C-alpha cells in the first residue's frame, strides 16, 4: 500500500491533539494482588491475520532488584538482575513479550523465518501455574503465582471502520494458525471478558498516535472520538485491530487473539485514500 506522507513540520499541531485523544494500551488486569506481588500475569497472544504467536509477561512489586519466573514443571524460564545505578534505584513494574514466530510453515516467505506451530508452542509453554520470585531489599524474597491456560479465544471477525465507528463480530477460528493439537477447544463467546480495539494510522510517521480502548465482551461497536480523527490528516490511511481476551477462572484477563484489517481511510465519503490502489 502506498501511503500519503505529511511533512514533519506540519505534524506539530495535530500530533499534540492526538496525544490528548489517544488512550495508550497497557497489559493490566492480571492477578491483583498476586500473593506477595502487586500484580502478575502470563498469557498467549495470537495475531490471527499475520499468523504469529507469542508469550507475554507482566509483574509488578515495589523495590525489587532480581526476578525469576519458574514454569509449571519447576524449571526456571526467565531471570534478570538490576545492575549498578539501577540496582540502587530498584525496580517496580516489568512487562515483556517473546519473539513472535509464524505459526504455519506455509506463511514463511524467507528461509530465515522462524516457525513454531500452535502444538509446538503449547508444549513449550505448558498450562499451569507460573511462579514469580523477586529479591527485594535486604535480600528478602517475595513470591506470587498466576495461571496460564491453553484456552484461547477465536479471532474477532468482520472488523470494519466506517469513518466513525469500529465494528466486529465473534469469530470461530484462529485465522492463519490452522494447525491445532488433538483435543484443542477454542474459548467460547461466553468465555471472553473483553475486547481491545485499536485504530492506527497506516503511516510510519503517524503510527505512534493510535487510539486504543478496551470494552466489555457484550460490546461489538466503538465510536472513535471525533477529536482524535480530527487530529489526523484528512484522508490518512488507517488500520484496525480487534482482540478478544479470555476470561480466566478468577475473572482476570487471560489469552488474547487479534484480527487486523487495513485499507480504511480517514474520510467516510470515499473508499480509498489518495495514492492507494484497488
Per-residue pLDDT tens digits for 41-59: 999 999 999 999 999 999 9
Per-residue pLDDT tens digits for 62-105: 999 999 999 999 999 999 999 999 999 999 999 999 999 999 99
Query: Bridge partners of 134?
Result: 67, 142
Per-residue pLDDT tens digits for 11-38: 444 444 444 444 434 455 688 999 999 9
What's the mean pLDDT when you consider all of the chain? Answer: 89
SS3 state of residue 7: coil
For residue 169, the model assigns a pLDDT of 98
Task: Supply φ then ψ for residue 118, to 5 degrees.
Answer: -60, -45
Distance CA 227, CA 192 (A): 30
> What structural domains does the chain harbor?
8-28+157-265 (2.60.40.10), 39-148 (2.60.40)
Per-residue pLDDT tens digits for 155-175: 999 999 999 999 999 999 999
Nearest Cα to Cα of residue 133 among 79, 83, 95, 72: 79
Q: Is the pLDDT of residue 269 over 70?
A: no
Residue with cell 487486523: 260
The DSSP secondary-structure symbol of 222 reads: E
- Which parts of the chain fold into alpha helices (H)? 12-21, 84-89, 118-124, 226-230
Amino acid at each position: 500500500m502506498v501511503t500519503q506522507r505529511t511533512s514533519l513540520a506540519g505534524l506539530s499541531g495535530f500530533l499534540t491533539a492526538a496525544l490528548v485523544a489517544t488512550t495508550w494500551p497497557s497489559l493490566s488486569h492480571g492477578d491483583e494482588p498476586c500473593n506477595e506481588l502487586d500484580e502478575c500475569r502470563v498469557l498467549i497472544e495470537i495475531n490471527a491475520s499475520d499468523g504469529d504467536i507469542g508469550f507475554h509477561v507482566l509483574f509488578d512489586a515495589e523495590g525489587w532488584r532480581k526476578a525469576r519466573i519458574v514454569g509449571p514443571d519447576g524449571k526456571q524460564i526467565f531471570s534478570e538482575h538490576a545492575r549498578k545505578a539501577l540496582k540502587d534505584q530498584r525496580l517496580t513494574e516489568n512487562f515483556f513479550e517473546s519473539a513472535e514466530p509464524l505459526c504455519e510453515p506455509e506463511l514463511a516467505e524467507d528461509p530465515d523465518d522462524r516457525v513454531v506451530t500452535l502444538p509446538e508452542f503449547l508444549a513449550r509453554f505448558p498450562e499451569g501455574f507460573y511462579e514469580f520470585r523477586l529479591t527485594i531489599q535486604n535480600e528478602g524474597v517475595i513470591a506470587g503465582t498466576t495461571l496460564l491456560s491453553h484456552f484461547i479465544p477465536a479471532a474477532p471477525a468482520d472488523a470494519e471502520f466506517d469513518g466513525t465507528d469500529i465494528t466486529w463480530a465473534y469469530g470461530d477460528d484462529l485465522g492463519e494458525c490452522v494447525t491445532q493439537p488433538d483435543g484443542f477447544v477454542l474459548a467460547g463467546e461466553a468465555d471472553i471478558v473483553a475486547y481491545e480495539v485499536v485504530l492506527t494510522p497506516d503511516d510510519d510517521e503517524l503510527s505512534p498516535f493510535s487510539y486504543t480502548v478496551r470494552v466489555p465482551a457484550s460490546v461489538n461497536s466503538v465510536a472513535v472520538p471525533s477529536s482524535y480523527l480530527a487530529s489526523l490528516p484528512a484522508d490518512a490511511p488507517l488500520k484496525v485491530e480487534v482482540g478478544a481476551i479470555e476470561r480466566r477462572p478468577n475473572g482476570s484477563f487471560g489469552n488474547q487473539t487479534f484480527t487486523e484489517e487495513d485499507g480504511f481511510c480517514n474520510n467516510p465519503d470515499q473508499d480509498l485514500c489518495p495514492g492507494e490502489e484497488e
